[in-house]
Amino acid sequence: MPIKINGSVKARVQTFGCQQNEADSERLRGMLAEMGYAMTDSDGDADVIVINTCAVREHAEAKVFGVIGALSHLKKARPWMIIAVCGCMAQRPEIAERIRASYRHVDLVFGTYALARFPELLETALSGGSRVFATEEEPAGALAEGIPRLRGRKYTAWLPVMYGCDNFCAYCIVPYVRGRERSRAPEIVEAEARELIESGACDITLLGQNVNSYGRSGGDVFFPELLRRLSGAPGDFILRFMTSHPKDAGEELFSAMASSPKIARHIHLPFQSGSDRVLAMMNRGYTRGRYSELIAMAREKLPGVVITSDVIVGFPGETEADFEETYSLIKSVRFDALFTFIHSPRPGAPSAELPDTVPREEKQRWFDRMTALQNSVSAELHQAYIGKTLRVLIDLETGDAEYPVSGRTSGNRLVRLRGSGAPGALGSFADVKITGCNTWSLTGELAQARSASATGAKL
């Protein structure tokens, strides 16, 4: 089978996971582009399809198996095409085995450790012969640099600062599929940030499963210092980061955030449960009391900070009384937004072995109560923005006639903009008068477009 070069072959990379997976997909596309592939959004004209997967919940896995299964007909019609499955699911031996046995139209399976070897693995798959499986773990500390990337968005960018996770929360598969924590060298992160800013990115999100652990796997620059260094770079941009773990967050982090208006006034601080008993079973390493202290500290150091979080209900052994603790924490903190999940047993993670007696319907009832509470809080908090003028980075064309563009505030609130002048402000920071809202977003109109000075107004 010929290897066609110079854009006459097309590739599609589909992402099913978190922001880290998105960042990996940008690298997969970068490697494909270097090999001469043009990108496509359609399976039907792709010569290579890469499915970048997520293993965090059963639902995510089921969705991926549906997508892989549906490709078997296409593979019959286009037998030369390569179907590759990679990412977190591919790193799980039992999943790789299931693909080997039952999804024989998949040509290449490679795990998170093998990302940098993708070009070589693809060449092997293209050269015919047998199917290629690269799912072995690599030695702790391995970290590949210099992988090209092809970004999909002009104004917003992902910047991974660390990989892996050492926290082993009892419900979570991530430490098993992403390996031990490895921090990228601060000079490399700084150089990449400069490159992104020079190429037009003005909203950069630093990524890590626990960014507060940055530097702890070796080196002497820790996350607060990294934030200070990056925010000192010239140019007009805003820095975001996720995710922070409450056990490692504190005064130093909040002071670093307060040190520069270029650092977003937003912290995503997952609490997972409001019950100390469940937090201990989850192996989270903090109590409800400590979490509440952190929220108070963040609000004191960073007036107006937007606080978002993740929560799980239905952890094995959780009782109605435990759930009430979670409910009351949500009520007292008043998060701006909350990502809510029902516990999904992950084979390989300790919680999958625990006895679980609460019926699914009961968990669903807890979940529905919790989301109803949060939706009403989010709507109330959004209502309070009406009439205010906020500084917004306008970063997206929506295709919607009434709200042709959208943007984000420093606190990461989505703002949809009305008015024929709005598209002209794309790629700039602008003052936006908020005129309406719903639970999930704000709407507004340009007060006055301007190229931002990041040392300017409160965001």
Return the residue matching tokens 């790789």. 96
Candidate list 17, 87, 160, 175; residue touching ligand SF4; CB under 6 A: 175
Contact flag: residue 43 with ligand SAM (CB under 6 A): no
Return the residue matching tokens 């516990």. 343
The one-character DSSP state at 178 is H
Candidate list 210, 244, 378, 443; residue touching ligand SF4; CB under 6 A: 210
The interface partner of residue 343, options being ligand SF4, ligand SAM, ligand F3S, none and the CB cut-off 5 to 8 Å by kind, is: ligand SAM
Report in angstroms the alpha-carbon separations of 112 from 41, 87, 92.
23, 5, 10
Q: What would the two tokens of residue 232 be?
A: 């000192």
Report in angstroms the alpha-carbon separations of 360 from 57, 218, 356, 443.
15, 43, 10, 37
Q: What would the two tokens of residue 125 be?
A: 């798959």
By the 10 Å C-beta count (0-12 exposed, 13-18 middle, 19+ buried), 292 is classed as: middle
Least Å from the CB of residue 24 to ligand F3S: 8
DSSP β-bridge partners for residue 11:
39, 48
Contact flag: residue 343 with ligand SF4 (CB under 6 A): no
Candidate list 54, 83, 122, 165; residue touching ligand SF4; CB under 6 A: 165
DSSP β-bridge partners for residue 156:
203
Contact flag: residue 196 with ligand SF4 (CB under 6 A): no
Q: Where are the alpha helices (DSSP H) in 283-335?
A: 288-301, 320-333
> What is the number of alpha carbons within 13 Å of residue 275 lying toward its C-beta?
19
Least Å from the CB of residue 248 to ligand SAM: 10
Contact flag: residue 209 with ligand SAM (CB under 6 A): yes
Q: Pairing relation of β-strands 405-409 and 414-418?
A: antiparallel
Beta carbons within 8 Å of 459's beta carbon, 6+ residues apart: 238, 261, 264, 265, 390, 391, 409, 410, 411
Interface residue list for ligand F3S (CB under 6 A): 17-18, 20-21, 54-56, 88, 173-174, 177-178
Q: What would the two tokens of residue 112 be?
A: 């998170």
Contact flag: residue 15 with ligand SAM (CB under 6 A): no
The interface partner of residue 288, options being ligand F3S, ligand SAM, ligand SF4, none and the CB cut-off 5 to 8 Å by kind, is: none
Q: What would the two tokens of residue 426 be?
A: 């794309």
As a whole number of angstroms, the distance between CA 429 and CA 453 comes to: 8
Contact flag: residue 382 with ligand SAM (CB under 6 A): no
Choice between 273 and 443, CB closer to ligand SAM: 273
Number of residues that bind ligand SF4 (CB under 6 A): 10
The interface partner of residue 175, options being ligand SF4, ligand F3S, ligand SAM, none and the CB cut-off 5 to 8 Å by kind, is: ligand SF4
As a whole number of angstroms, the distance between CA 387 and CA 434 comes to: 5
As a whole number of angstroms, the distance between CA 294 and CA 300 comes to: 10
Binding mask 262-291 vs ligand SAM (x if CB under 6 A, - otherwise)? Answer: --------x-x-------------------
As a whole number of angstroms, the distance between CA 266 and CA 305 comes to: 5
Contact flag: residue 56 with ligand SAM (CB under 6 A): yes
Q: Among candidates 252, 221, 232, 257, which has minimal Cα distance to 242?
A: 257
Residues between 239 and 298 with contacts to ligand SF4, criterion CB under 6 A: 245
Beta carbons within 8 Å of 418's beta carbon, 6+ residues apart: 402, 403, 435, 443, 444, 445
What are residue 281's phi and psi, to 5 degrees? Answer: -65, -30
The interface partner of residue 55, options being ligand SAM, ligand F3S, ligand SF4, none and the CB cut-off 5 to 8 Å by kind, is: ligand F3S
Candidate list 53, 112, 209, 212; residue touching ligand SF4; CB under 6 A: 209
Contact flag: residue 172 with ligand SF4 (CB under 6 A): yes
As a whole number of angstroms, the distance between CA 288 and CA 251 comes to: 18
Residue span binding ligand SF4 (CB under 6 A) among the ranges 128-136, 165-173, 355-363, 401-409 = 165-173
Choice between 209 and 443, CB closer to ligand SAM: 209
Least Å from the CB of residue 213 to ligand SF4: 9
Contact flag: residue 253 with ligand SAM (CB under 6 A): no
Number of residues that bind ligand SAM (CB under 6 A): 18
Q: What would the two tokens of residue 230 be?
A: 């990056």
Choice between 165 and 417, CB closer to ligand F3S: 165
Residues between 330 and 359 with contacts to ligand SAM, criterion CB under 6 A: 341, 343-344, 346
Contact flag: residue 396 with ligand SF4 (CB under 6 A): no
As a whole number of angstroms, the distance between CA 411 and CA 168 comes to: 29
The interface partner of residue 168, options being ligand SF4, ligand F3S, ligand SAM, none and the CB cut-off 5 to 8 Å by kind, is: ligand SF4
Choice between 177 and 330, CB closer to ligand F3S: 177
Residues that bind ligand SF4 (CB under 6 A): 165, 167-169, 172, 174-175, 209-210, 245
Residues that bind ligand SAM (CB under 6 A): 18, 56-57, 171-172, 174, 209-210, 243, 245, 270, 272, 310, 312, 341, 343-344, 346
